[in-house]
Structure 1
Amino acid sequence: LQPLYDALEDMIPAVKLKEYMESNVIQIAPLAFMRGRTLNDAIIVLDEAQNTTTHQIKMFLTRLGMNAKMIITGDITQIDLPRSVNSGLVQALKVLKGVPGIGMVEFGKKDIVRHQLVQRIVEAYQRWDDEKKAEEQREKAEQ
């Protein structure tokens, strides 16, 4: 959960953040702690959603209560799940496409706001992945 704390500390002065946390204006909870809750009058953020399972993301999405909004972030190029486990985010993007009331925004390499080398690193990995896929296709075609 440290990345969430880091981001909050970047945006909110420490004294105010402590006050918000103590009064539960801001709550940080692991995904497993969402089960059974209905989140009303809230803005709910799920970060790193590419590493949710299909059951986890469905459970999370169904916590939406009245006057609430959900923001789900994830980078499908950085899925850390075992190969045998499907990403809940990937599935949700397909299942929920076109559902009224749900919006999706896709960012690209140009939207990276970290160190300038990060964009070049992402591009290099993309080229490498593309080359490996092309190589695998050539090998299959030769068989």
Structure 2
Amino acid sequence: MGVRFPRRLHHVGITVNDLPRSVRFWAELTGGTASEIKTVDAPHLSTLLDYRDVRLQVATVKVSETLTIELLRYVSEPADPYDPGTAHPGNVHVCFDVDDMSASWEHAVRCGAVPVGDGPVDVPSGGQLAYLRTVDGASIELRAIPI
């Protein structure tokens, strides 16, 4: 038997434009615990990320024992805005199982998420799915599928 991969998900990382705003958004949306914002400029980052003299601001929101959202702002690199849709390579979305789709969708909108479409959609197998965009254009999927 070969290597077992992955053992567990460590975190989901999202690059953002306004770190304090994004920390507030994710902490409010998830009820998670936010860390302090730290500036990181360790020499290995330039090699790891392939940017010269890279400096990052980093914060995390601990959602649960098994999910942490890492928020990154590149201080040393100019932002390169792109279409926030899901069709571009590199797009990442965070999916949450929810018990009450309507309440979860409304909560996300109150926190500042922008709906994709008019609201949740019914799926043929039963249940509902919804997509929203965060304050930085990342995607959130809400999933209310009966087990």
The structure richer in helix per residue is 1
Higher-strand-fraction structure: 2
The one of the two structures with greater contact order (alpha-carbon pairs below 8 A, sep at least 6) is: 2
* TM-score, L = length of structure 1: 0.24
TM-score, normalized by length of structure 2? 0.24
